[in-house]
Structure 1
């Protein structure tokens, strides 16, 4: 049982580090890797899972995913936009047919998945808050 826990812990840290690298490299998807890290930590270390849930940048991603309330529309639309922008850059840089077909296939699948996710209603921001 201890070996399984260590494996999940190592996979969690590998996923988290890869996700952080993915912030700067267009081919590595940050969000799925952070979510995988959260899943691994939930099975191996309550301390690291709690740390990730309370993290300034990664915490909201994990909490939104783990809640059954859905994701904010703005976040979903941003994810779709940046995913396609990153894929377009990758396609132009690599310029191979097999890579283009693979990236477009993955992009369409992820896009469909994101569009089918439930949306959480966001509280409306009050314009000119504090002004009279």
Structure 2
């Protein structure tokens, strides 16, 4: 792949991730930090200035650095994610979704919750 095109695609992914992270600030249920983690990673591939800005951001920079250094997720974030997954599974159970979706989606969420709670916190 042409080097300039690759850099453009990394930048596009980084910008899209930042945009989704910004939307997550105001939209309940859409996480912010995972999108900023993705943005920092993509920025590191094609937009080092954006990566540096995210790593030094006063609010979200520490979470990105903790993840990069130790794979750490704060306990508060674990509880928030678990609560949102539980709420989502409950609403899904009350919906008209097919039975496979009603069973499969909570199973995936449970696997994610187990993985998440096994991550270090500090």
When the two structures are superposed, what TM-score results if normalisation uses the length of structure 2? 0.77
Higher relative helix content: 2
CA distance in 2, matches of 1:106, 1:37: 24
Alignment match, 1:81? 79
Alignment match, 1:44? 46
Residues 102 and 38 of structure 1: CA distance in aligned 2, closer, same or farther (over 3 Å): farther
Unaligned runs of 5+ in 1: 121-132
Unaligned runs of 5+ in 2: none
The equivalences for 1:39-78 within 5 A come to: 39-68=41-70, 70-71=71-72, 75=74, 77-78=75-76
**1:29 to partner: Cα distance:** 2.9
**1:20 to partner: Cα distance:** 2.1
Residues 80 and 11 of structure 1: CA distance in aligned 2, closer, same or farther (over 3 Å): same
Number of aligned residues: 115
The equivalences for 1:1-132 within 5 A come to: 1-23=3-25, 24-26=27-29, 28-68=30-70, 70-71=71-72, 75=74, 77-94=75-92, 95=95, 96=97, 97-120=99-122
CA-based RMSD of the aligned residues comes to 2.2
Q: Which has the larger radius of gyration?
A: 1
When the two structures are superposed, what TM-score results if normalisation uses the length of structure 1? 0.72
Contact residue 82 and residue 113 of structure 2 kept, 8 A? no
Contact residue 91 and residue 99 of structure 1 kept, 8 A? no
